[in-house]
Amino acid sequence: MKKIHLIVGARPNIIKASPVYNALESLNKYDITVVNTGQHYDKLMMDTFINELEFKAPDINLRVGSGSHGTQTAKIITEYEKVLLKDKPDAVIVFGDVNSTLACTIAAKKMMIDVIHIESGLRSYDKDMPEEINRMMVDSVADYCFTTCEDASLNLIKEGRSKESIFMMGNTMIDSLVKFESKFNKSNLLDKYGLSVQEYILFTMHRPSNVDNEEKLLKIIEQIIIISKEHRCFFPIHPRTMNRIKDLNLLKKIEDLPNIVLSGPLGYFDFMNIQKNARLVVTDSGGIQEESTYFGVQCLTVRENTERPITITEGTNTLIGNTIDNISSEIANIIESPKKKSAIKYWDGHSGYRISKIIENII
Ligand code: UD1
Ligand code: UDP
C-alpha cells in the first residue's frame, strides 16, 4: 500500500482536510497518516473541529505550539523531518496557506517526496500577508496543485506551472459545509444569546494587519460600539485578537454593552449556525468569505485585497478596505441592497471525492 501523509495544524485545515481524508480512505488503497503540527492547540481551535467534523484523530502530533513565524516554521520543519526520516511516505498532502502548510512542504520536498497542495493558486498579490508568502512558496515547489476555482488555476499558469499538474476540483471547505449543514440547525446558540435570525451582524477579526496594530484594533472596537447602537452584534474572538484586546485593556469597553455578544472561538456547528443566520458578516477571514457566499449571506471584508476574488464577482463578498472608520457606513449601504445567492462551479459537496479520484491516478 502506498503511504500518504495528510497535514493539519490550524483550525481551517481540519475543515478542508476532513473530506479529502474520508474520500481517500474509502478508496482502500492508501495507508494514510494524519500529522497534526500543533500550530493550534486550544480545544476550541482544534479538538472540537476534529470531533465535530468526524475527522480521524491525528496519528502524530508534533506539538510545536505558538511562536514567531521563523520559530514556528523552523520547529515544524525540524519535527516533521524526523517523522519523514522514519516513515518515508509516497506523498504529502498540505492544505491552505498557514505556516504548517509551508513548513511541511519544505521538509517533504527537501527529501524529494511529492507534495500535493489543496487550495492552491489563490493570490492576493500582497506580500505583507504571511499567508501570501506561504501560498507562493508552497506552489513554487508543490508537485500537484488542486485549485478551488478557475482564477486560481490561471494564477498558477501565469507563474509558469504546467497545465498537467493543475486540477480544478472545487472547494473542500464547502464539502464540509454541505455534509454537516443539518447539524448547524441543532445549535442552540441563537436562543442562548437571545439572537433572532437575520437580526444581528457577525464580526470576526484575526488578521495581523487589523488586530496587531494598536490604532486599527482600537478603531475596530469603536466601530463595533457604534454599530451596536443600531444592530445586535456577535463577536466570537480569535485567541490572537483576544490577546491584543487584553494587552490594550479594551475588553472592558465592550464586555458589558447590551447589544454586543462576545464569546471565545466557537465550535464549527455553532459558528456555522451563527454565520448562516446572520444579517451580514464583517470579517477578515479567508474561509468565511467563501462560506458566506455559499450561504448567500452578505459579507464585508475588512481588507485591501482578497485572494478569493470569485467571492466578489460571483458571490456576496464586498471588499471595504481596512480604513476601519468606514465600517458602519458600509454596513448602512449594504444592508439595504438585495441579497444574492450564487452557485460556484464545483462548490457542491463533492470536491473531496473528485480530488481522491485524481490522486488515485497520480500516486
Ligand atoms: C493562523 C494562520 C492564519 C489563519 C489562522 C486561522 C499563519 C501564518 N497564520 O493565524 O493564516 O487564518 O491561523 O485561525 O499560519 N493561540 C492560542 N491558542 C491556539 C492557537 C493560537 O492562544 O490554539 C494564540 C497564541 O497567542 C498565538 C496566536 O494565537 O501566538 C496566533 O496563533 P498563530 O497560529 O501563530 O496564528 P493565527 O493568528 O492563529
Ligand atoms: N470558524 C469557527 N469558529 C469560529 C471562527 C471560525 O468554526 O469562532 C470556522 C469557520 O468555518 C471559518 C474557519 O473556521 O471559515 C476558518 O477560520 P479562520 O477565519 O480562523 O481562518 P481563515 O479562513 O482566515 O484562514
CA distances from 75 to 69, 81, 220, 251, 255 (A): 10, 10, 33, 33, 37
308 backbone dihedrals φ, ψ, rounded to 5°: -120, 60
Whether the CB-CB separation of 202 and 282 falls below 8 Å is answered with yes
Give the other-Cβ count within 10 Å of 125's Cβ. Answer: 10
Closest CA to 250 of 260, 241, 240, 259: 241
Is there an atom of ligand 1 within 6 Å of 130 CB? Answer: yes
- Packing angle between helix 99-110 and helix 130-141, nearest 10 degrees? 30
Dist. CA 115–CA 209, nearest whole Å? 30
Say how many Å lie between the CA of residue 35 and the centre of ligand 2.
20
Could you read off the pLDDT of 225-284 as tens digits, one per residue? 999 999 999 999 999 999 999 999 999 999 989 999 999 999 999 999 999 999 999 999
Nearest-atom index, ligand 2, CA of 265: 8
Say how many Å lie between the CA of residue 26 and the centre of ligand 1.
32
Nearest-atom index, ligand 1, CA of 101: 15
Which numbered ligand comes closest to the C-alpha of 187?
2
Say how many Å lie between the CA of residue 358 and the centre of ligand 1.
32
Q: What is the pLDDT of residue 147?
A: 99
Mutate to test the pocket of ligand 2, among 39, 135, 175, 271 (most ligand atoms within 8 A of CB): 271
For 261, the grid coordinates are: 455578544
Nearest-atom index, ligand 2, CA of 49: 7
Q: What is the pLDDT of residue 166?
A: 98
Nearest-atom index, ligand 1, CA of 99: 15
Could you read off the pLDDT of 273-332 as tens digits, one per residue? 999 999 999 999 999 999 999 999 999 999 999 999 999 999 999 999 988 888 988 998
How many CA atoms lie less than 13 Å away from 36 in the CB half-sphere?
22
Mutate to test the pocket of ligand 1, among 37, 133, 240 (most ligand atoms within 8 A of CB): 240
Mutate to test the pocket of ligand 2, among 52, 261, 288 (most ligand atoms within 8 A of CB): 288
The model's pTM is: 0.98
Q: What is the DSSP letter of 98?
A: S
Annotated active-site positions, please? 206
What residues does 30 pair with on adjacent strands? 2
Segment holding 20, helix H or strand E: helix 11-25
Is there an atom of ligand 1 within 6 Å of 37 CB? Answer: no
Segment holding 183, helix H or strand E: helix 172-184
For 15, the grid coordinates are: 475543515
Dist. CA 234–CA 28, nearest whole Å? 43
Task: Say which residues have a Cβ less than 8 Å from residue 301's Cβ, sequence separation at least 6.
Answer: 283, 284, 289, 317, 318, 319, 320
Distance of alpha carbon 16 from the chain centroid: 8
How many CA atoms lie less than 13 Å away from 164 in the CB half-sphere?
2
The region, left, alpha or beta by phi > 0 then psi within -120 to 50, assigned to residue 160 is: left
Dist. CA 131–CA 162, nearest whole Å? 23
Q: What is the pLDDT of residue 132?
A: 98
Q: What is the pLDDT of residue 335?
A: 82
Intra-chain end-to-end CA distance of the chain, in Å: 11
Say how many Å lie between the CA of residue 18 and the centre of ligand 1.
20
Whether the CB-CB separation of 171 and 355 falls below 8 Å is answered with no
Dist. CA 262–CA 236, nearest whole Å? 6
Dist. CA 145–CA 116, nearest whole Å? 6
Is there an atom of ligand 1 within 6 Å of 266 CB? Answer: no
Query: Which segments of the chain have a pLDDT < 70?
Result: none
Q: What is the pLDDT of residue 246?
A: 96
Say how many Å lie between the CA of residue 82 and the centre of ligand 2.
30
